[in-house]
Amino acid sequence: MASSSLSSSSLSTLRKSLAIANSTPNSNSHSVSFPNFQQKTLPQTLTTNRKHLTHSSTNSTAVPAVSPPRSLKSRLKNGETLYGIFLLTFSPTLAEIAGLAGYDFAVVDMEHGHGGISDALPCLHALAAANTAAVLRIPESSAAWAKKALDLGPQGIMFPMIESPKSARKAVSYCRFPPNGVRGSAHTIVRASDYGIDEGYLSNFEEEVLVMCQVESEEGVKKIDEIAGVEGVDCVQMGPLDLSASMGYLWDPGHKKVKEALRGAEKAVLKGKAAYLSGFVMPHDPATELRRRGYHMVSGAADVGLFRSAAVEDVRRFRASLVDDDDDAGKESVVVAEEKYWSE
């Protein structure tokens, strides 16, 4: 009994010491608190997605309880409009910056970007560190690509060039294990299941993974209502550039006929109410317009495009400053010459 009393007394003393160290001079609180730096240093959109630590005041040893970030699916069901970016450089640094900047999601693009699965993984690590949802766009709609992408554990997968309900059903089947699909199974060891640590993966993965089918051709637009209605298709991603090319307007994506086809496709998806609508911002079609027309996921930029624009503007400013300096130097030389003339 003496030993037990001594241990309790020592623990009580330790608790009081910790509380004093973490409280203000006039505070009488005996709970351990941790400063929250995120509210001061990170965008509000990011801090709402960050994991928060909660501390129990009833147990003698407080164990942090980590709340996982909400999935893209749950946020869409909640009626949110999500804003994202496409990543084509496969730079983990840029992926991390994108996450910290506050984007709701980032699409690691293996269709038009140079990288593959091994290049995408470091980007997923960086996005996970920034608590930002990752979507993988695969280069073609095939079981092999879908399997490798899904095993990495993204929150979403995007299938390009879906032109019929048949190809949409195939895409969904690539995301499901037998007997409901044809996805190869290595769930006991892959990253998607936390390398087998997540024992509930098989029960939850279909509810977590956002299946996105990209409709980007005239043929696909004609059947978009059927594509959007396929069970398991969560989101229809519009592809305005490829659509304009398929209609013969490669150099004019803002052509009236392209706009008409796009608007008709959007209305068909929204009318069906089976799938969410996702799309790209264009120079003639800003994010505010996409949101107004009912888009639920809006991608505003690509890392390559952002860097290109910033780099071109930086060089332009510098060269403009050289011209301004030359003009100023010319004016100064004229003034000096005039002063010398009159002084003589």
CA gap 160, 140 in Å, rounded:
6
> Computed from CA positions of residues 78, 82, 87, 93, in that sequence, does the dihedral angle turn out positive or negative?
negative
Structure-block tokens of residue 37: 């730096």
Annotated active-site residue 112? The verdict is yes
Let me know if 62 is exposed, middle or buried by CB neighbors in 10 A (0-12, 13-18, 19+): middle
Catalytic residue selected from 112, 125, 255, 284: 112
Residue-by-residue DSSP string for 289-305: HHHHTT-SEEEEEEHHH
Structure-block tokens of residue 106: 């980032």
CA gap 291, 82 in Å, rounded:
10
Q: What SS3 class is residue 180?
A: coil
CA gap 296, 98 in Å, rounded:
20
CB 304 within 8 A of CB 108: no
Catalytic residue set: 112
